[in-house]
Amino acid sequence: METSEMMKYSALISLAVIVAIPMTGFLIHLFVTRLLANLLSLINPSGKLFLFVANTLTFPGVCYHELSHALFALLTGAKVKKIVLYHKEGNHLGYVEMIPRGPLPLKWMQMSFSACAPVITGLIGECVILWVFATLTLPTWGYILCGFFFFCLLLHMEMSGADIKGYLKGIPFLFLLFFLMAMAAFQYGTASIVESASLSASISL
């Protein structure tokens, strides 16, 4: 593959990944959170039942969501000032206060990765739970517990409005990062193909 083609496909892959991350959170919000809210509003129109499910019953998902923000902030060099996992009034989810540090591109990276962290770690967590379901033999209570945690993570994988704003600030850095990763993958793949072809030719000779 020529360099110009690798650059074109790398740019397309980078754009696709950048769009796919918040879109995943949006689709989960649309088809899971809103659907659950509408169903529970039939039982309790005031919305208190939904808040109970979202904030209290699925509290492990709240912790996973907020700790994901904090983890990615720390890994990228930001300072985590405060982590709140639950408001006393019980009407809101938790939040993380972070202070970006370093040069401007580094701050963009910290804000973007911290913002989209719940989607990325949520997908990883869901894959691990599905792997457990598919490969391990568990007692009945184990399957119920795994199903509960799967629901908790799923309900809290979305990105808030503040998350989206933070994510958008780092779009230039994310594009460059994913572009370089795609280019490296293409280069490695091309080199592997050439090496395999050379090896096959030498064996046949």
pLDDT digits over 63-77, tens only?
Answer: 999 999 999 999 999
Average pLDDT, the chain: 85
| Cα–Cα distance, 89 to 48 (Å, whole number) | 12
Are 65 and 184 in contact, with CB atoms under 8 Å apart? no
The stretch 120-131 carries a mean pLDDT of 94
User: Which residues pair with residue 152 across a beta bridge?
Assistant: none
Are 70 and 85 in contact, with CB atoms under 8 Å apart? no
Q: Output the pTM of the full model.
A: 0.83
Q: Which of 76, 61, 71 is nearest to 126 (CA)?
A: 61
pLDDT, position 200: 46
